[in-house]
Each structure stands twice: as structure tokens, then as C-alpha cells.
Amino acid sequence: MLKDRCPILQFSDLGDERGKLVVLEGKRNIPIPIKRVFYIYGSDDTVVRGQHANRESEFVLINVAGESKVRITDGTEEFIVELNKPMMGVYIPRMIWKDMYDFSADSVLLVLASTYYDAKEYIRDFEEYLKEMNEAAPNV
Ligand code: TYD
């Protein structure tokens, strides 16, 4: 099941009466070594971001503020995760296609990546992605 390969991660709240605190540690509660962090904000419900698969990178997506949705597919199965809590994330392994959309105005989507940025490891054409997936594991 694709869902099993892309688990939802629940983080503990170490907060107290002063407010909440969530800790993310690579290879501890985050199942990847964290080499890169970026965040997406100022998007809205009219745009679709992502629209790519990565040959090398693994990601964890967390909406640290606001909310968004991510549609995850391997070309065969598909499911949608609603990222709407700073205490949850979703792990996305290599060679999985993702689209992020329905951003609330206050959405800040934090992305943890296992690699430094390399444009060459992105597949941005869905037909090309399906072709590579089919070559890797043909649907006979
Ligand atoms: P893009 O991959 O289109 O963003 P998204 O996944 O949200 O759709 O990236 C937008 C631009 O930023 C593009 O020119 C590549 C650049 N970029 C970097 O230079 N480093 C990075 O780590 C990322 C994620 C993007």
C-alpha cells in the first residue's frame, strides 16, 4: 500500500503553560537525515505546487502554520493528506509524485529534505515519471 510507504508522523508536544514546542531530529523522530530545510508561504488555493518526483530526495512535509493538502501518487495508487497541524507531518520517499495545493492564506509549509538541492534529480513531467516507474516495475 502506498499509504504504508508514506506514513503520517505524529510529533510530541513538549510545551507547557508558556506555549507549545515541537522538536524535529534527523534519524530520530524524522526518518531521514536532514540536509536541507525550506518553507513555502504566500501560496493560496489557486496554485498547485510540487508536481514532481525526486530520484534521490526523501522529504517530510509539515504545515507549521495554516493548512494545505498534498496529493501523493506512485502512478498506480493515490491518496491525499491534509496537513493542518504543526504536530503532524508526512514522509515522502524517493520516486513518489506529489502535488501541494489548497493553501490557506496563513499556510507555512515546512519541508525537510534528505539531500542538498540538485535540479537534475527532479522529474517534472508526469508522463516521464510514469514511464520510469513502469520500466522499474512493469505492470504486466
Ligand atoms: P520548485 O521545485 O518549483 O518548488 P515547489 O516544489 O514548491 O513547487 O522550486 C521553486 C524554485 O526554487 C526553483 O527555481 C528551484 C528553486 N529551489 C532551490 O533553488 N532550492 C531548493 O531547495 C528548492 C526546493 C527550490
CB 40 within 8 A of CB 109: yes
- The preferred substitution site among 38, 43, 56, 72 for testing ligand 1, maximizing ligand atoms within 8 Å of CB, is 38
Q: What are 25-74's pLDDT values in tens digits?
A: 999 999 999 999 999 999 999 999 999 999 999 999 999 999 999 999 99
CB contact set of 48 (below 8 Å; sequence gap of 6+): 99, 100, 101
Expressed in angstroms and rounded, the spacing between residue 135 Cα and the centre of ligand 1 is 27
Spot the catalytic one: 49, 52, 69, 94: 52
pLDDT at 120 over 90: yes
pLDDT surpasses 90 at 139: no
Q: For residues 42 and 103, give the distance between their C-alpha atoms in angstroms, rounded to a whole number.
A: 9
Q: How many CA atoms lie within 13 A of 16 on its CB side?
A: 1
Residues 82, 33 contacting (CB under 8 angstroms): no
Length of the chain: 140
